[in-house]
A and B are shown apart, each in its own frame.
Chain A
Amino acid sequence: MKILVVGCGKIGMSIISSLVKEGHDVVVIDGSRTVIEEVGNIYDVMCVCGNGADCETLDEAGVASAELVVSVTGSDEFNMLSCFIAARMGAKNTIARIRNPEYNDKSLGFMRQQLELSVSINPEWMAAKELFNILRLPAAANIESFSRGNLEMVEIPLKQQNSPLDGMSLIELRRKYNAKFLICAVQRGAECYIPDGNFVLKSGDKIGLTASQSELQKLLKMLGLVKKQAKSVIILGASRISYYLAKRLIAGGASVKIIDKDPKRCKAFAGELPEAVVICGDGAEQELLLEEGIDSVDAFVALTGIDELNILISIFAQAQNVPKVIAKVNRGELAGMAKNLGLDTILSPQKIVTDVLSRYARALHNSLGSNVETLYTLMDGNVEALEFSVSPEFKGLKTPLKELSLKKGILVAGIIRGRRAMIPSGDDVINAGDRVVVIASDRGMTDLSDILV
């Protein structure tokens, strides 16, 4: 499938990387010759240097035959314009990044319609949503929800030593804890497994499990993993993500403290969020953090624009025994290092965006009918969790799961029928109209039929 990407910033680059891996024909447009050359050296894509909202440049990039145009430059207005022109020139679908909160209110629907945008993405808003989810359930390193929260998938890091689950096989675990859940992926070091019942857990593993929302709370309580919902949070850095997150937290009744160096931004935040305490000061100063009571808050979130700073201050916060510490890290390679340094929860806005885009591209690619509704990459990108809506054409309808011949590395982790989420056993069947959550160790599934041999 031919996809045009306009703009090669941080988000643009990670989108390009993931689309190329998914096997699409990618054409990249950027105004900077050096950037475009760099992209051309690293990825197998076609590069066009020029203005992405200019007809001639778009024509050179072959916009008329493009299935999808993604515009992710730094400017919302530019993204809108380039998507609009691309759509008028024959691009079938367009996605624009629109970040400004002023556009992301009631006017968004109107604009999307007028500009013929298929989707608008707001990475900061999505990141804030994910952060909020994690703070709601601090035991998890990562939470993803399917079917509007009916079924949740959490990543939980086990303790490095003497975890209560050490040496327990999954069958024993199931027998011991009477709850409806399924462990669907285990990461041990760099390896990632899709386990069966005989798989034995070890300390230091990271497990991914699916359960419905209510069952999840019950299970975590039984496992002794429960940490209370974060009620007081310090946010470092007054960025767009901070704004969206603080707004949600305050609406949920939490107390929020925001620290930033820039007096102007602090002033603006204080105006927008009167309930929050806004501190103007250098977050890298430990004295300031201690003064603001970092040792007594429930959670600390580092959201400055500098990855290294976020990592280092998070390590300091962890040393002050803050129950939940989250660092935003944009660059993938730094995220890996941060995990080695002991930070288990890393927020990567790029990953959220690329997940959304991969899902969208696959849904476009699919002509068979059982579309990908949601897609998350889990366990540092080793595993994919996909939610499909089942079409009547699916070949495995009405067959008990144990009789379906599934491909290797595939697990059916949940079936959602109506509003009820089920953790499937071997006797359950998939019906048309269900939503099915599938865990896969290979990338690139576009249709539910792909799970069958």
Chain B
Amino acid sequence: MNRKMVFYLFGRILQVEALLLLLPALTSLVYGETRVLLTFLSVAGGSALFGTLVALLCRTKNKVIYAKEGFAIVALAWVGMSVVGALPFVISGDIPNYFDAFFEIVSGFTTTGASVLPNVERLSHGALFWRSFSHWVGGMGVLVFVMAIVRNMSDRSIHIMRAEMPGPIVGKLVPRASDTAKILYLIYIVLTVIQIIMLCAGGMPFFDSLIHSFGTAGTGGFGIKSNSIAGYSNYSQIVITVFMLIFGVNFNLYYLLLIRRFRSVLKSTELWAYLGMVAVSIVVITFNILPIYDNFNDSLRHASFQVSSIITTTGYTTTDFNVWPHLSKGILLLLMCLGGCAGSTAGGLKVSRAVILFKLILREIKKMLHPRAVTSVKFEGKAVEDGTLSSVATYFAVYAFCIFAAFLVICFEPFGFESNVTAVLTTFNNVGPGFATVGPMGGFGEYTAFSKIVFSFAMLFGRLEIFPMIIALSPSTWMKK
């Protein structure tokens, strides 16, 4: 274990966070919130100081990192960033309780969008900006960002990328990891800017478009209104629907579009599976909820918005889907676990894993029928390695175990089965809203501090795809032997 390198990068991450904290400070400056401005500046200063100190103390010539260092760095960075990121809320008085603030910022970085606040309208502009900006940062990943800007971080930075980027197979777009990170961030920034412009064009105020674009791009879901997107125009809702779907697609495909490989894009199994599921869900739900709304158009608009929001694990809402029929709620619950495509900013199990799991099941059945059959599972036109297959199956098992464990730990909460189960599912999959108490119009505010910590870690486990957290938490990683 190259502990020095791990902590060195940890220090660098804190420095980067200090830089990021300057943006909400700027917002406070614009809106004349002196107290909040000072809070952000002091936290940024402290973070920069501490980060520099750690980086200096742990400077090392040995930059070699292996897979376990990659996992440890990522887990440590995310927890550390959240611990620091929660401070401005507490100090500025926006969220006085530290556990609440920690939950809120973890929910931000992990692009969950679940909130403990009963009415967000009371927050200062600086705090609102920081909350949503954390979505944007967490969506593509902080370490990927560091990789894009720091030259020659390490020869083996691919391990860090693998640990932070979601999905069963993380590939590079171009030979160098840092160039890949740059390309990904460039695509991310361009798409975000386009969304901001389109929202502004539809008459949404600039600050609101900024916030909602951050929330959409990171597939997070923090808004600035208690009723989320419901109060905005139909045009804005449609723009957000489309962009949620766009950010749920594997970013590699956008790169392929850029280098004009349209055929490879069209052949992507995952893309078609994703779009197919979205389409089917929208159709079923539209007809299912038709009686609740006045006309077909409204029903289609609400259905498509909610489906896109849930499958991409964004968590914006335009209506209270708590009152929807059970069939629709069932579909939403399924989509919640499914999540977007690998290599996107979405959370959840990922469509690619679901497809591979489904094909694995078919293979097992075929094997039972023809015990001597030699079979292979194909995905994206290629046979999937046995190693990848077993890691996908293992991931699903661990995923299920973690969700059960989290549910058992918080089952003492008095909000009923539906709330508790969906609360765990929605945090673990980084969605945001669940059903009943934690539904679109509710929140996590009434849960105890203990449960909030559990949920916070559920979100981190979900965002980093479990293993980095498990590895960072197991003592054998850190012991000398």
Contacts and interface: CB of A to CB of B under 8 A. Distances in A.
Q: Is the interface of A mostly helix, strand, loop or mixed?
A: mixed
Interface residues of A, number: 13
Contact of B155 (A20, A25, A33): A20
Contacts of B156: 41-44
A26 interface: yes
Contact of A42 (B155, B177, B178, B385): B155
Interface string B62-90: 00001100000000000000000000000
B385 A44 contact: no
Nearest to A21: B155
B125 interface: no
A112 interface: no
Interface string A310-337: 0000000000000000000000000000
Interface in B171-191: 172, 174-179
A331 B156 CA distance: 21
A46 B174 contact: yes
Interface in B127-181: 155-159, 172, 174-179
Contacts of A25: 174-176, 179
A127 to B, nearest CB: 28
Interface in A28-45: 33, 40-45
A44 B177 contact: yes
B470 to A, nearest CB: 20
A180 interface: no
A25 B182 CA distance: 15
Contacts of B159: 41
Contacts of A42: 155-156
A27 interface: yes
B321 to A, nearest CB: 43
Interface residues of B, number: 15
Contacts, number: 32
B175 A2 contact: yes
Contact of B158 (A2, A20, A27, A44): A44
Contacts of A26: 175
Contacts of A40: 158
B158 A46 contact: no
Contacts of B177: 44
A17 to B, nearest CB: 10
Interface in B322-349: none
A33 B385 contact: yes
A47 B172 CA distance: 8
A41 B154 CA distance: 12
Instruction: Determine which residue in A27, A41, A42, A46 has the highest number of CB atoms from chain B within 10 A of its CB, and name it.
Output: A46
Nearest to A25: B175
A40 B170 CA distance: 11
Nearest to A49: B382
A20 B178 CA distance: 13
B256 to A, nearest CB: 11
A2 B174 CA distance: 10
Nearest to B178: A44
B147 to A, nearest CB: 10
A324 B318 CA distance: 85
Given A20-B155, A40-B158, A45 B385 contact: no
A293 B300 CA distance: 94
Nearest to B153: A44
A110 to B, nearest CB: 34
Interface in A87-106: none
16 contacts: A2-B175, A25-B174, A25-B176, A26-B175, A27-B175, A41-B66, A41-B156, A41-B159, A43-B155, A44-B155, A44-B176, A44-B178, A45-B176, A46-B172, A46-B174, A46-B175
Instruction: Enumerate the 6 nearest inter-chain pairs by beta-carbon distance, A residue then B residue, closest first.
Output: A25-B175, A46-B175, A46-B172, A45-B175, A44-B177, A26-B175
Given A41-B156, A44-B157, 15 more contacts: A2-B175, A25-B174, A25-B175, A25-B179, A26-B175, A27-B175, A41-B67, A41-B159, A42-B155, A43-B156, A44-B155, A44-B176, A44-B177, A44-B178, A45-B175
Interface of B: 66-67, 155-159, 172, 174-179, 385
